[in-house]
Chains A and B, each alone.
Chain A
Protein backbone atom coordinates (compact mmCIF):
# COMPACT_ATOMS: atom_id res chain seq x y z
CA UNK A 1 0.00 0.00 0.00
CA UNK A 2 1.51 3.31 -0.94
CA UNK A 3 1.18 6.68 0.72
CA UNK A 4 -1.52 7.80 -1.72
CA UNK A 5 -3.80 4.97 -0.56
CA UNK A 6 -3.27 5.97 3.12
CA UNK A 7 -4.23 9.51 2.29
CA UNK A 8 -7.41 8.43 0.50
CA UNK A 9 -8.33 6.11 3.40
CA UNK A 10 -7.81 8.93 5.90
CA UNK A 11 -10.07 11.21 3.85
CA UNK A 12 -12.76 8.49 3.78
CA UNK A 13 -12.38 8.09 7.55
CA UNK A 14 -12.76 11.77 8.23
CA UNK A 15 -15.92 11.86 6.07
CA UNK A 16 -17.31 8.87 8.00
CA UNK A 17 -16.46 10.60 11.28
CA UNK A 18 -18.13 13.80 10.13
CA UNK A 19 -21.31 11.88 9.26
CA UNK A 20 -21.18 10.13 12.67
CA UNK A 21 -20.89 13.49 14.45
CA UNK A 22 -24.09 14.69 12.74
CA UNK A 23 -25.93 11.39 13.18
CA UNK A 24 -25.23 10.73 16.87
CA UNK A 25 -27.69 13.36 18.07
CA UNK A 26 -30.48 11.64 16.14
CA UNK A 27 -29.71 8.38 17.91
CA UNK A 28 -29.99 9.99 21.36
CA UNK A 29 -33.16 11.83 20.37
CA UNK A 30 -34.87 8.64 19.19
CA UNK A 31 -33.82 6.69 22.30
CA UNK A 32 -35.06 9.49 24.56
CA UNK A 33 -38.32 9.78 22.59
CA UNK A 34 -38.92 6.06 22.93
CA UNK A 35 -38.29 6.12 26.71
CA UNK A 36 -40.57 9.16 27.16
CA UNK A 37 -43.40 7.72 25.06
CA UNK A 38 -43.24 4.31 26.72
CA UNK A 39 -43.47 5.81 30.20
CA UNK A 40 -46.08 8.51 29.49
CA UNK A 41 -48.32 6.25 27.40
CA UNK A 42 -48.52 3.75 30.25
CA UNK A 43 -49.36 6.54 32.71
CA UNK A 44 -51.90 7.94 30.26
CA UNK A 45 -53.74 4.65 29.82
CA UNK A 46 -53.66 3.75 33.55
CA UNK A 47 -54.80 7.21 34.65
CA UNK A 48 -57.47 7.47 31.95
CA UNK A 49 -58.87 4.13 33.00
CA UNK A 50 -58.99 5.22 36.63
CA UNK A 51 -60.46 8.69 35.98
CA UNK A 52 -63.11 7.26 33.65
CA UNK A 53 -63.97 4.51 36.13
CA UNK A 54 -64.45 7.07 38.91
CA UNK A 55 -66.51 9.34 36.63
CA UNK A 56 -68.74 6.35 35.93
CA UNK A 57 -69.08 5.63 39.65
CA UNK A 58 -70.19 9.23 40.21
CA UNK A 59 -72.70 9.08 37.37
CA UNK A 60 -74.24 5.82 38.57
CA UNK A 61 -74.09 6.66 42.27
CA UNK A 62 -75.93 9.91 41.45
CA UNK A 63 -78.80 7.74 40.32
CA UNK A 64 -78.80 5.77 43.59
CA UNK A 65 -78.62 8.98 45.66
CA UNK A 66 -81.46 10.49 43.66
CA UNK A 67 -83.62 7.38 44.18
CA UNK A 68 -82.80 7.40 47.92
CA UNK A 69 -83.68 11.10 48.27
CA UNK A 70 -86.81 10.92 46.08
CA UNK A 71 -88.00 7.84 47.96
CA UNK A 72 -87.34 9.52 51.32
CA UNK A 73 -89.94 12.10 50.36
CA UNK A 74 -92.43 10.13 48.30
CA UNK A 75 -92.25 6.37 48.83
CA UNK A 76 -94.68 4.84 51.29
CA UNK A 77 -94.26 1.22 50.28
CA UNK A 78 -92.07 -0.93 48.07
CA UNK A 79 -94.36 -0.38 45.10
CA UNK A 80 -93.82 3.41 45.30
CA UNK A 81 -90.12 2.75 45.65
CA UNK A 82 -90.08 0.50 42.59
CA UNK A 83 -91.89 3.17 40.60
CA UNK A 84 -89.32 5.81 41.58
CA UNK A 85 -86.58 3.38 40.55
CA UNK A 86 -88.19 2.77 37.19
CA UNK A 87 -88.75 6.48 36.50
CA UNK A 88 -85.20 7.42 37.53
CA UNK A 89 -83.30 4.63 35.76
CA UNK A 90 -83.83 5.89 32.22
CA UNK A 91 -80.53 4.43 30.99
CA UNK A 92 -81.22 1.02 32.55
CA UNK A 93 -78.03 0.85 34.59
CA UNK A 94 -79.53 -0.78 37.67
CA UNK A 95 -79.46 -4.51 38.32
CA UNK A 96 -82.65 -6.33 39.21
CA UNK A 97 -83.54 -5.35 42.78
CA UNK A 98 -82.93 -7.93 45.47
CA UNK A 99 -85.99 -8.17 47.73
CA UNK A 100 -86.20 -10.26 50.87
CA UNK A 101 -87.64 -10.30 54.37
CA UNK A 102 -85.26 -9.54 57.20
CA UNK A 103 -85.40 -12.48 59.62
CA UNK A 104 -84.75 -10.36 62.71
CA UNK A 105 -87.10 -7.46 62.14
CA UNK A 106 -89.55 -8.95 59.70
CA UNK A 107 -89.07 -5.88 57.50
CA UNK A 108 -89.25 -6.20 53.76
CA UNK A 109 -85.94 -5.04 52.28
CA UNK A 110 -85.22 -3.93 48.75
CA UNK A 111 -81.58 -3.70 47.66
CA UNK A 112 -80.98 -1.59 44.57
CA UNK A 113 -77.51 -1.74 43.02
CA UNK A 114 -75.60 -1.12 39.81
CA UNK A 115 -72.72 -3.36 40.87
CA UNK A 116 -71.73 -5.35 43.96
CA UNK A 117 -69.98 -2.36 45.59
CA UNK A 118 -72.58 0.37 45.25
CA UNK A 119 -76.15 -0.06 46.41
CA UNK A 120 -78.88 1.28 48.68
CA UNK A 121 -81.15 -0.84 50.85
CA UNK A 122 -84.68 0.30 51.60
CA UNK A 123 -86.64 -1.30 54.46
CA UNK A 124 -90.41 -1.34 54.74
CA UNK A 125 -92.53 -2.41 57.69
CA UNK A 126 -94.13 -5.86 57.91
CA UNK A 127 -97.34 -4.67 56.27
CA UNK A 128 -95.36 -2.87 53.56
CA UNK A 129 -97.26 0.28 54.40
CA UNK A 130 -94.37 2.51 55.51
CA UNK A 131 -90.78 3.15 54.49
CA UNK A 132 -88.74 2.54 57.64
CA UNK A 133 -85.19 3.27 56.49
CA UNK A 134 -82.89 3.67 53.52
CA UNK A 135 -79.33 2.52 54.11
CA UNK A 136 -76.80 4.47 52.02
CA UNK A 137 -73.62 3.27 53.77
CA UNK A 138 -72.27 1.67 50.59
CA UNK A 139 -72.46 5.03 48.78
CA UNK A 140 -70.53 6.69 51.60
CA UNK A 141 -67.77 4.06 51.52
CA UNK A 142 -68.74 2.81 54.96
CA UNK A 143 -68.63 -0.80 53.91
CA UNK A 144 -65.55 -2.72 52.79
CA UNK A 145 -64.36 -2.25 49.21
CA UNK A 146 -64.06 1.14 47.59
CA UNK A 147 -63.28 2.94 44.36
CA UNK A 148 -59.58 2.79 45.09
CA UNK A 149 -59.45 -1.00 44.81
CA UNK A 150 -59.04 -0.97 41.07
CA UNK A 151 -55.54 -2.38 41.02
CA UNK A 152 -53.73 0.93 41.03
CA UNK A 153 -54.20 4.26 42.72
CA UNK A 154 -53.00 7.85 42.86
CA UNK A 155 -49.97 6.67 44.79
CA UNK A 156 -48.78 4.71 41.77
CA UNK A 157 -48.37 7.96 39.89
CA UNK A 158 -46.87 9.81 42.82
CA UNK A 159 -44.14 7.22 43.25
CA UNK A 160 -43.10 7.73 39.67
CA UNK A 161 -42.37 11.37 40.35
CA UNK A 162 -39.51 10.44 42.63
Chain B
Protein backbone atom coordinates (compact mmCIF):
# COMPACT_ATOMS: atom_id res chain seq x y z
CA UNK B 1 0.00 0.00 0.00
CA UNK B 2 1.46 3.29 -0.94
CA UNK B 3 1.72 6.23 1.45
CA UNK B 4 -1.16 8.10 -0.16
CA UNK B 5 -3.60 5.25 0.56
CA UNK B 6 -2.50 5.05 4.21
CA UNK B 7 -3.01 8.82 4.62
CA UNK B 8 -6.44 8.57 2.96
CA UNK B 9 -7.65 5.67 5.14
CA UNK B 10 -6.29 7.30 8.30
CA UNK B 11 -8.04 10.49 7.36
CA UNK B 12 -11.38 8.74 6.80
CA UNK B 13 -11.05 7.20 10.28
CA UNK B 14 -10.32 10.68 11.70
CA UNK B 15 -13.36 12.13 9.89
CA UNK B 16 -15.65 9.42 11.31
CA UNK B 17 -14.20 9.95 14.77
CA UNK B 18 -14.68 13.72 14.51
CA UNK B 19 -18.31 13.28 13.39
CA UNK B 20 -18.97 10.99 16.38
CA UNK B 21 -17.28 13.47 18.76
CA UNK B 22 -19.19 16.39 17.25
CA UNK B 23 -22.57 14.70 17.58
CA UNK B 24 -21.98 13.56 21.14
CA UNK B 25 -20.70 17.01 22.23
CA UNK B 26 -23.65 18.65 20.50
CA UNK B 27 -26.15 16.82 22.72
CA UNK B 28 -24.12 17.62 25.81
CA UNK B 29 -23.87 21.32 24.98
CA UNK B 30 -27.56 21.54 24.13
CA UNK B 31 -28.53 19.98 27.44
CA UNK B 32 -26.05 22.13 29.36
CA UNK B 33 -27.33 25.29 27.64
CA UNK B 34 -30.97 24.50 28.47
CA UNK B 35 -30.16 23.58 32.07
CA UNK B 36 -27.96 26.57 32.78
CA UNK B 37 -30.48 29.04 31.26
CA UNK B 38 -33.35 27.50 33.24
CA UNK B 39 -31.45 27.40 36.53
CA UNK B 40 -29.79 30.82 36.22
CA UNK B 41 -33.06 32.48 35.26
CA UNK B 42 -35.00 30.90 38.09
CA UNK B 43 -32.22 31.78 40.57
CA UNK B 44 -32.56 35.42 39.50
CA UNK B 45 -36.36 35.24 39.70
CA UNK B 46 -36.06 33.83 43.23
CA UNK B 47 -33.74 36.71 44.17
CA UNK B 48 -36.29 39.22 42.85
CA UNK B 49 -39.11 37.51 44.73
CA UNK B 50 -37.09 37.64 47.94
CA UNK B 51 -36.83 41.43 47.63
CA UNK B 52 -40.52 41.76 46.72
CA UNK B 53 -41.57 39.63 49.70
CA UNK B 54 -39.31 41.57 52.09
CA UNK B 55 -40.68 44.85 50.77
CA UNK B 56 -44.30 43.63 51.00
CA UNK B 57 -43.79 42.44 54.56
CA UNK B 58 -42.09 45.68 55.58
CA UNK B 59 -44.92 47.76 54.11
CA UNK B 60 -47.61 45.83 55.93
CA UNK B 61 -45.71 46.20 59.21
CA UNK B 62 -45.09 49.88 58.50
CA UNK B 63 -48.79 50.47 57.77
CA UNK B 64 -49.81 48.65 60.96
CA UNK B 65 -47.46 50.81 63.03
CA UNK B 66 -48.82 54.00 61.45
CA UNK B 67 -52.35 52.81 62.14
CA UNK B 68 -51.37 52.15 65.75
CA UNK B 69 -49.88 55.64 66.08
CA UNK B 70 -52.90 57.26 64.45
CA UNK B 71 -55.43 55.35 66.52
CA UNK B 72 -53.51 55.93 69.74
CA UNK B 73 -53.50 59.67 69.10
CA UNK B 74 -57.15 59.83 68.11
CA UNK B 75 -58.77 57.43 70.53
CA UNK B 76 -60.21 59.05 73.63
CA UNK B 77 -59.15 56.05 75.66
CA UNK B 78 -55.43 56.80 76.05
CA UNK B 79 -54.50 54.43 78.85
CA UNK B 80 -51.67 51.93 78.70
CA UNK B 81 -53.89 48.88 79.01
CA UNK B 82 -55.97 50.06 76.04
CA UNK B 83 -52.79 50.59 74.05
CA UNK B 84 -51.78 46.96 74.60
CA UNK B 85 -55.27 45.83 73.64
CA UNK B 86 -55.12 48.00 70.54
CA UNK B 87 -51.91 46.27 69.43
CA UNK B 88 -53.58 42.87 69.77
CA UNK B 89 -56.73 44.11 68.02
CA UNK B 90 -54.77 45.46 65.06
CA UNK B 91 -52.88 42.18 64.69
CA UNK B 92 -56.13 40.22 64.86
CA UNK B 93 -57.83 42.53 62.38
CA UNK B 94 -54.90 42.12 59.98
CA UNK B 95 -55.10 38.35 60.28
CA UNK B 96 -58.86 38.36 59.72
CA UNK B 97 -58.43 39.76 56.22
CA UNK B 98 -58.23 36.81 53.76
CA UNK B 99 -56.02 38.85 51.43
CA UNK B 100 -53.49 39.32 54.23
CA UNK B 101 -53.68 35.65 55.14
CA UNK B 102 -52.75 34.74 51.58
CA UNK B 103 -49.81 37.14 51.73
CA UNK B 104 -48.60 35.70 55.04
CA UNK B 105 -48.73 32.22 53.55
CA UNK B 106 -46.58 33.39 50.67
CA UNK B 107 -44.06 34.90 53.09
CA UNK B 108 -44.01 31.69 55.15
CA UNK B 109 -45.56 33.33 58.21
CA UNK B 110 -48.56 32.44 60.31
CA UNK B 111 -49.22 35.92 61.67
CA UNK B 112 -47.88 39.44 61.63
CA UNK B 113 -46.80 40.67 65.03
CA UNK B 114 -46.16 44.30 65.91
CA UNK B 115 -42.78 44.29 67.65
CA UNK B 116 -43.39 46.02 70.97
CA UNK B 117 -40.81 46.47 73.69
CA UNK B 118 -42.61 47.32 76.90
CA UNK B 119 -41.46 49.24 79.96
CA UNK B 120 -43.53 50.42 82.90
CA UNK B 121 -44.43 53.76 81.37
CA UNK B 122 -43.42 53.47 77.72
CA UNK B 123 -43.76 51.25 74.70
CA UNK B 124 -41.24 51.14 71.87
CA UNK B 125 -42.52 49.77 68.59
CA UNK B 126 -39.90 48.66 66.10
CA UNK B 127 -40.45 49.09 62.39
CA UNK B 128 -37.20 47.82 60.90
CA UNK B 129 -33.52 48.80 61.09
CA UNK B 130 -33.06 51.92 63.15
CA UNK B 131 -36.74 52.76 63.01
CA UNK B 132 -38.64 52.89 66.29
CA UNK B 133 -41.74 54.65 67.51
CA UNK B 134 -41.78 55.56 71.18
CA UNK B 135 -45.05 55.91 73.09
CA UNK B 136 -44.54 57.68 76.41
CA UNK B 137 -47.15 57.35 79.14
CA UNK B 138 -47.55 59.66 82.13
CA UNK B 139 -49.01 57.52 84.83
CA UNK B 140 -51.19 55.33 82.67
CA UNK B 141 -52.18 57.90 80.07
CA UNK B 142 -50.50 58.49 76.74
CA UNK B 143 -48.38 61.62 76.99
CA UNK B 144 -46.51 61.71 73.68
CA UNK B 145 -45.62 59.68 70.62
CA UNK B 146 -42.35 60.10 68.77
CA UNK B 147 -42.93 58.85 65.22
CA UNK B 148 -40.25 60.95 63.52
CA UNK B 149 -38.23 57.84 62.55
CA UNK B 150 -41.30 56.26 61.01
CA UNK B 151 -42.00 59.37 58.96
CA UNK B 152 -38.38 59.53 57.79
CA UNK B 153 -38.29 55.99 56.39
CA UNK B 154 -36.67 55.93 52.95
CA UNK B 155 -36.68 52.56 51.25
CA UNK B 156 -34.75 53.38 48.09
CA UNK B 157 -31.54 51.82 49.45
CA UNK B 158 -33.25 49.13 51.51
CA UNK B 159 -35.31 47.64 48.70
CA UNK B 160 -33.84 47.63 45.21
CA UNK B 161 -33.41 45.09 42.47
CA UNK B 162 -29.85 44.20 41.52
CA UNK B 163 -28.84 43.72 37.90
CA UNK B 164 -28.76 40.05 36.89
CA UNK B 165 -25.37 38.37 37.27
CA UNK B 166 -23.28 37.92 34.11
CA UNK B 167 -24.13 34.78 32.23
CA UNK B 168 -21.92 31.82 33.08
CA UNK B 169 -22.31 28.81 30.82
CA UNK B 170 -20.43 26.62 33.28
CA UNK B 171 -22.49 27.70 36.31
CA UNK B 172 -23.52 24.77 38.44
Contacts and interface: CB of A to CB of B under 8 A. Distances in A.
B33 A14 contact: no
B163 interface: yes
A43 B29 contact: no
Contacts of A28: 29-30, 32-33, 169
A44 B164 contact: yes
B131 to A, nearest CB: 11
Contacts of A140: 63, 67
Contacts of B37: 32, 35-36, 39
A127 interface: no
Interface residues of A, number: 55
A72 interface: yes
25 contacts: A10-B12, A13-B15, A17-B15, A21-B18, A24-B29, A28-B32, A35-B37, A36-B164, A37-B167, A40-B164, A43-B44, A44-B44, A51-B52, A52-B156, A58-B153, A65-B66, A65-B150, A69-B66, A134-B70, A136-B67, A147-B59, A154-B56, A158-B49, A160-B42, A160-B45
Interface residues of B, number: 60
A10 B4 contact: no
B167 A62 contact: no
Contacts, number: 161
Interface string A15-43: 00110110011001101110111011101
B124 interface: no
A55 B155 contact: yes
A7 B62 contact: no
Contacts of B67: 136, 140
Given A28-B30, A43-B44, A50 B163 contact: no
B167 to A, nearest CB: 4
Given A28-B33, A59-B154, A48 B55 contact: no
Given A24-B25, A65-B70, A55 B45 contact: no
Interface string B68-93: 01100110000000000000000000
A156 to B, nearest CB: 10
B7 A7 contact: yes
A3 B18 contact: no
Contact of A17 (B22, B59, B62, B161): B22
